[in-house]
Amino acid sequence: GAGVSQSPSNKVTEKGKDVELRCDPISGHTALYWYRQSLGQGLEFLIYFQGNSAPDKSGLPSDRFSAERTGGSVSTLTIQRTQQEDSAVYLCASSLRPGDEQYFGPGTRLTVT
């Protein structure tokens, strides 16, 4: 079946602009995660959605970052007033249940100029 998809694959934006990144998880997966991977760094957890529960936002680096998950499926990560340090690959993952293995999308490479 279809895996996790993300769009766009690449995004170049000017400093100060807002961006939206989209994630389509695997159908039926209840848990959805956003991570950030900077060059030469590991994965930094951003936010986690589980079913209809309130999301775990503990990893969001600032209030410029927010995310939604509509209808328990598609998720959008929004970064407002982008800064150069926001440049990274943003990865989305989903799992059937919390704690199960996560399946990752190909990522969105964000470059802030």
Contact flag: residue 39 with another protein (CB under 8 A): no
Rg of the chain over Cα atoms, rounded to whole angstroms, equals 13
Evaluate whether 37 touches 89 at the Cβ level (below 8 Å). Answer: yes
Q: Which residue in the block uniquely carries the two structure tokens 């249940």? A: 97
Terminal alpha carbon distance of the chain: 37
Q: Which of 81, 98, 111, 113 binds another protein (CB under 8 A)?
A: 98
Taking CB under 8 A as the binding criterion, the range among 21-29, 50-58, 64-72, 76-84 that sits at the site for another protein is 50-58
Which CB atom, from 40 or from 71, has the smaller least distance to another protein?
40
Contact flag: residue 28 with another protein (CB under 8 A): no
Angle made by CA atoms 110, 7, 53, in degrees to the nearest 5: 100
Residues that bind another protein (CB under 8 A): 4, 31, 33, 35, 41-43, 45, 48, 50, 53-54, 56, 58-59, 91, 93, 95, 97-99, 101-107
